Chain A
């Protein structure tokens, strides 16, 4: 069973100024125990794709399964099997880390003794034991991000969906977070993340989906993607992949590639 299987996911937003096709027929699969990254610039459709998988919004067309459960017909079962980290930390400022973890643990059905043991263990893994009774509002951005990850992990979900997990973090905290993500993979979690950071994607992800203007233009490991377009570094691979798909990173489509480029 695939951890995530998306088939033709499409999302059209209709507003007063007309409609926007934010995600356009995206299909991909994520194997259990791998780190899969959706890589693309801002506005590419990464967050919308993740929100559909987290059942926060419904696809206009297509569907997806998470751990075998359909996001449209069994959203509650999907939610029980994911931990979703939004771009905001999504934490309650007036609660402490301890209360935050207990609250989310209880929501997922853990009993009193069990939830406390899990909260203790999670705080230890995150290195937040010393801050467990401080109000979240007084924590630093890095501490909050770690706690947000802890909040996603408290019910030990098989799939973690992380939207830009290192965005706006300093280099030290970002490194801690990426190490934690690797550790979670080693413990058997499947991680689906979005990022616009090319180097993070290359270093961290087992496989990547490059997304631009709502379309998934390539899927593969960083090495496979490099072999396909023949770039010297991953940045070059990214841009060559977009050009090969007839998508300009900046201007109007299609933009012809430079002479000699794939």
Chain B
């Protein structure tokens, strides 16, 4: 297997001299991901602040509900524009004079406190949504206040009617649990994509690309065995895809930090599991890229063949990361999806050694099978001259 090692070294030397590979492997994950998450984080933060300080502009149509409208006008945090009827109200909304149109109708037939309130707003507009939420909270308080007044007027102490019940919410997870939840959802998906990106770039070049440039014929007529050639190329793709994945993970962590969420409490054990689980994931994907790239006649053809592979991996990634069904135990033996689910579990806690074993063994098996098929294909002349 000395030949495989020699070929691996040659492929890596070429890869580090290729600007595109270096950019995709090192610069892209370390610069693009933090930048992307930094921008998203900044945007989300700004929007959150903007919505919390929003004073919703209300267009109000009162049909005998002047008391309610007055209370709204006096309440802090609202800007109220009263109009005569619903048609005018809708006209004002169309002109962009308000986020929410409120139609308040007094309904004495339903009792002294009878009101019918209708809110019109665009649910797709975040400002309108936030405005409507504020109006709803105000109305709940207002109606509660009216009820209390009425009880007092009836000589009843409202406190006596209220059961001795208190509700307190305590976030036991804290900031770190939130970060871990975020990581467990994002990291497996990002890792599998970055492994594939790293593997595809180099893999297509050192298989189909070599065919196109005529260098594969040189290798095939050398003393290297077909097995050494496949193994050397596989090791190179595996190494580059692993480096891409580790740097992508680092970039992602930096990005998440820029949300202002601390990750200091991420256990070393979880990090170690994630790194260990990258290997089976990268093995399967690298072997897949090698066999697809070897089958293709040109680099362009290889990219076309790898597109469905990417789509499949994306679908697997989304269903594993965001899907409801949990993969656990022997189910972690499912190629690609298994190690991804295991990474998710490792971050959330509760991953067992047995489960890692399932993911590792099945990936080894699948990668081995794919490489065996690749060696068989390299023994055929079709690897060079497929008509």
Contact = CB atoms under 8 A, between A and B. Distances in A.
Interface of A: 13-16, 51, 54-58, 76, 79-80, 82, 84, 86-95, 99, 103-104, 106-109, 135, 151, 155
Contact of B217 (A56, A76, A82): A56
A76 B13 contact: no
Contacts of A89: 214
Interface in B366-387: 381, 384-385, 387
A175 B17 CA distance: 34
Contacts of B50: none
Contacts of B218: 84, 86, 90-91, 151
B3 interface: yes
20 contacts: A13-B385, A14-B387, A16-B387, A51-B217, A54-B221, A56-B217, A56-B220, A56-B384, A80-B223, A82-B221, A84-B221, A87-B214, A90-B213, A90-B217, A92-B14, A92-B215, A95-B13, A103-B10, A108-B223, A135-B17
Contacts of A95: 10, 13-14
B214 A103 contact: no
Contacts of A94: 13-14, 17-18
B151 interface: no
Most chain A beta-carbon neighbours within 10 Å: one of B7, B13, B217, B387: B217
Interface in B213-246: 213-215, 217-218, 220-225
B6 interface: yes
A257 to B, nearest CB: 36
B353 to A, nearest CB: 41
Contacts of A51: 217
The 3 closest A-B pairs by CB, nearest first: A88-B214, A90-B218, A15-B387
A92 B6 CA distance: 14
A15 B225 CA distance: 28
Given A86-B217, A107-B222, A108-B222, 18 more contacts: A15-B387, A16-B387, A56-B220, A56-B381, A57-B384, A57-B385, A76-B225, A80-B223, A84-B217, A84-B218, A88-B213, A94-B13, A94-B14, A94-B17, A99-B13, A109-B223, A135-B17, A151-B218
A155 to B, nearest CB: 8
Interface residues of B, number: 23
A106 B228 CA distance: 14
A56 B387 contact: no
A94 B221 CA distance: 21
A95 B3 CA distance: 18
Most chain A beta-carbon neighbours within 10 Å: one of B223, B225, B384: B223
Nearest to A108: B223
A105 to B, nearest CB: 10
Contacts of B223: 76, 79-80, 107-109, 155
B10 A79 contact: no
A156 to B, nearest CB: 13
Interface of B: 3, 6-7, 10, 13-14, 17-18, 213-215, 217-218, 220-225, 381, 384-385, 387
B145 to A, nearest CB: 77
B378 to A, nearest CB: 11
A79 B18 contact: no
A73 to B, nearest CB: 14
A93 B15 CA distance: 11
A92 B217 contact: no
Contacts of A104: 222
B221 A55 contact: yes
Contacts of B217: 51, 56, 84, 86, 88, 90
A99 B3 CA distance: 15
Contacts of B13: 94-95, 99
A7 B387 CA distance: 26
Contact of B381 (A15, A57, A86): A57
B221 A79 contact: yes
A135 B18 CA distance: 12
Contacts of B3: 107
A95 B11 CA distance: 10
B387 A107 contact: no
B10 A92 contact: yes
Contacts of A82: 221
B25 to A, nearest CB: 15
B240 to A, nearest CB: 15
A157 to B, nearest CB: 10
A150 to B, nearest CB: 12
B221 A107 contact: no
A91 B221 contact: no
Most chain B beta-carbon neighbours within 10 Å: one of A80, A91, A107, A108: A107
A88 B209 CA distance: 14
B235 to A, nearest CB: 16
B375 to A, nearest CB: 14
Contacts of B381: 56-58
A208 to B, nearest CB: 23
Contacts of B214: 86-90
B296 to A, nearest CB: 17
B221 A13 contact: no
Contacts of B221: 54-56, 79, 82, 84, 86
A3 B218 CA distance: 21
Contacts of A84: 217-218, 221
Given A13-B387, A86-B217, A90-B214, A79 B222 contact: yes
A89 B214 CA distance: 7
Given A13-B387, A15-B387, A107 B14 contact: no
A109 B2 CA distance: 9
B3 to A, nearest CB: 6
Contacts of B220: 56
Nearest to A57: B381
A91 B224 CA distance: 16
Nearest to A83: B221
